Structure 1
Amino acid sequence: MSLIANKLAISFIMKAVVIFFIWMILYYGYILPNGYFNPILTKALLGSTVGVLKAIGYDSYNVQNVIYVDGKSSVLVADVCNGLELMVLYVAFFICFPGPIKHKLIFIPVGLIVLFLINVVREVLLVLNYNYFQKTFEFNHKYTYVFFVYAAVFLIWRYWLNNYSIIGKQISSKG
């Protein structure tokens, strides 16, 4: 590994550790006790999920954090399901990796919207999974849909790394 690669790796790790501690302090010291931001994101996810279900022909609504389809409860959308932590991880990656700020300012908000929409699709699929294939619900909730959400994040990161980051450009110019 070259000296430049070592410096970049150390810089990435140091930034990641600092961001991790800042996030923990903010989340457990302010966001969670305040109880403000998580419910807003969860309500947006609930409303969007119900909207998509209605758009594809299901009689759906939510009462608090539970989604109902045809009058039957289907899925509870807890605050931990709203994607906030994944969104923070996504943004932290861009902060930690060197690259042009103008590209980061595009990829961060667009990516956050994409992640939210992917989470809406995930919730819609979970509702349908629960209603039609209850035996597979737990497995799909815990593994399948999580895999696809993280795969999408990885693909966005990879695209940005290969096309816009300083590291990606250095690696591609050597290859």
Structure 2
Amino acid sequence: MLRVTKFIFSLILFFIGYQTLMYLSGNEIHIFFRELVAEQSVGLLKFLGFDALLGCVGGVTSGINLGRSGILVVAEGCDGVDLLALFAAFAIAFPGPWKHKFWYVPLGLLLVHAFNILRVAALTILADYNIEVMKWNHKYTFIILVYSFVFVLWFYWIKKFAVPHAKRKMA
């Protein structure tokens, strides 16, 4: 019971801190990540041989253009910030040795960010192919894939580090 209370308390503290940071930054964090995701997605698309261009939308360099589809915009919900916070919150709040959290959380954040870059690049290709196919995949396929990926990272944390750590403490 104490572990559950500690976990919930840790999550509440994390989300209060996260919301405070978002409020105090005044959207700067989202703008930074929107631009970063757009730039890195364009870099990936160019590496794959596509003629991708970065575009400015509403004063933020968060648009990606492949030609036929117009500009695909990396919006606030697609920048990955909330997903990164969600991953970090559960990994930090869940029991486990801090020596592993110090490397696992940053590695997990990098992996989630990289997965988001792949997602945005794939959606850009789909938008160039067929905008309706892109919209459907954006709404369903990639939501399932992204959250499944984060779930696998959490599950790995729980099985590899949190549960063995909890068993050692009980013994």
TM-score w.r.t. the length of structure 1 is 0.85
Equivalent runs, 1:16-27 vs 2, <5 Å: 16-27=11-22
Aligned to 1:8, which of 3, 16, 25? Answer: 3
> Which residue does 2:59 correspond to in 1?
none
> Which residue does 1:3 correspond to in 2?
none
How many residue pairs get aligned? The number is 164
Pairwise CA distance, 1:48: 0.8
- 1:90-143: CA deviations, max 9, x gaps? 111122111111110111111111111100100011011111132222221112
| One-letter code aligned to 2:7 | F
Equivalents in 2 of 1:98, 1:56: separation in Å? 41
- 1:18-70: CA deviations, max 9, x gaps? 22222222212x12x2x422222211111110011111111111112221113
Determine if contact 2:66/2:125 at 8 Å carries over to the other structure. Answer: no
> Which residue does 1:91 correspond to in 2?
88
* % identical equivalent positions: 29
> Which residue does 1:49 correspond to in 2?
41
- 1:68-93: CA deviations, max 9, x gaps? 11375241111321101111111111
> Which residue does 2:113 correspond to in 1?
116
CA RMSD of aligned residues (A): 2.0
| One-letter code aligned to 2:19 | M
Determine if contact 1:48/1:120 at 8 Å carries over to the other structure. Answer: yes
Greater than 6 Å deviation, 4+ residue runs: none
Q: Secondary structure at the match of 1:149?
A: helix
Equivalents in 2 of 1:150, 1:168: separation in Å? 25
Equivalents in 2 of 1:99, 1:85: separation in Å? 23
Determine if contact 1:103/1:164 at 8 Å carries over to the other structure. Answer: yes
Which has the larger displacement, 81-90 or 37-46?
37-46
Equivalents in 1 of 2:105, 2:86: separation in Å? 11
Task: Extract unaligned runs of 5+ from structure 2.
Answer: 57-61
Determine if contact 2:96/2:161 at 8 Å carries over to the other structure. Answer: yes
Question: Which one scores higher on RCO, CA 8 angstroms, separation ≥ 6?
Answer: 2
Equivalents in 1 of 2:131, 2:69: separation in Å? 14
| One-letter code aligned to 1:112 | L
| One-letter code aligned to 1:41 | F
Q: Secondary structure at the match of 2:70?
A: strand
| One-letter code aligned to 1:154 | F
Determine if contact 1:60/1:71 at 8 Å carries over to the other structure. Answer: no
